Amino acid sequence: MEYKNPHNAFKEALKTDQRLLGLWLAFGSATTAEISADAGFDWVLIDGEHGPNDLTTILAQLRALYGYPISPIVRPANSDPVLIKQVLDLGAQTLLLPMVNTREQAEAMVRATRYAPEGIRGVGGAIARSGRWGRIPNYMRVAADDLCVLVQVESRQALENIDEIASVDGIDGVFIGPADLSASLGHPDDAANADVQESIHHAFDVIASHGKAIGSLAFDTDLAKKYFEWGANFIAVAGDTDLYVHALEDEVRKFR
């Protein structure tokens, strides 16, 4: 039986005026991922950079989310082209690539997701979930159509290069990482600092000028709404570990 390459609904939605609400998944659990899948979020982020995830747990979560009305995004532990290749072979179609500081690095991220001659992604669709183990006969030719490449800007250097990074062809969106950015700007643990917020607002404007999608993380409701007002397309408004911590404390508080 032959299959068509899966459609990337998230990539399509980025081209609209929708406000896409995301949930950060850091438990590394396929069960909690599946429980979250039907809660009403538009996308989830499977975190391989700071969450306790490896290729096996990422694969398990992709399978748990499959068929639900939600789009998975995978953040690898780093932006190594070999790791990018492996995550793509698992069937991930949207990647959030951390610590991209220059135009050259952004261009390298695009090449890592493309097959030759446009890129350097190794060919393994016949033995990988991405190509449905060879059941998508033209996978190499159509794979890039539904790949969504998001790069993270989260340092002073990246901010200085934001115009060049956002201009790179093949980059679908730029995600501003507020925690690392606040530390890089000299305000650790204070992403709400006025200087940090001014830098984020400026970055949003530059990204928008290149027609690229804008993303960030804001677990504070008012901050998330402000980012959307500034033009953001996709915001992680909650995280599984954060929700769990607060739910536990709130429950105990009822009896103490």
What are the pLDDT digits (tens) for 205-236? 999 999 999 999 999 999 999 999 999 999 99
For residue range 166-187, list pLDDT tens digits in order.
999 999 999 999 999 999 999 9
Catalytic residue chosen out of the listed positions 7, 50, 202, 246: 50
Strand partners, 151: 97, 174
Work out the angle at residue 145's Cα, subtended by the Cα atoms of residues 140 and 148, and round it to the nearest 5 degrees.
110
CATH number corresponding to 9-145+213-253: 3.20.20.60
The domain ranges of the chain are: 9-145+213-253
Cα separation, 41 vs 44, in Å, equals 7
| Terminal C-alpha separation, the chain | 60
Q: What is the pLDDT of residue 1?
A: 75
For residue range 86-124, list pLDDT tens digits in order.
999 999 999 999 999 999 999 999 999 999 999 999 998
The answer to whether 201 touches 185, Cβ cutoff 8 Å, is: no
Q: What is the pLDDT of residue 126?
A: 85
Cα separation, 108 vs 18, in Å, equals 29
Q: Is 7 a catalytic residue?
A: no
Question: CA-CA distances (angstroms) from residue 174 to 83, 150, 166, 211?
Answer: 20, 5, 7, 11
Cα separation, 93 vs 145, in Å, equals 10
- Average pLDDT of the chain? 96
| Confidence check: pLDDT of 2 > 90 | no
Residue type, 47: D
| Confidence check: pLDDT of 77 > 80 | yes
For residue range 122-144, list pLDDT tens digits in order.
998 889 999 999 999 999 999 99
Would you say the pTM of this structure is higher than 0.85?
yes
Mean pLDDT, range 7-23, rounded to an integer: 95
Q: What is the DSSP letter of 142?
A: H
Predicted confidence band of residue 32 (pLDDT cuts 50, 70, 90): very high
The answer to whether 166 touches 231, Cβ cutoff 8 Å, is: no
Q: Is the peptide bond before 98 cis (omega within 30 degrees of 0)?
A: no
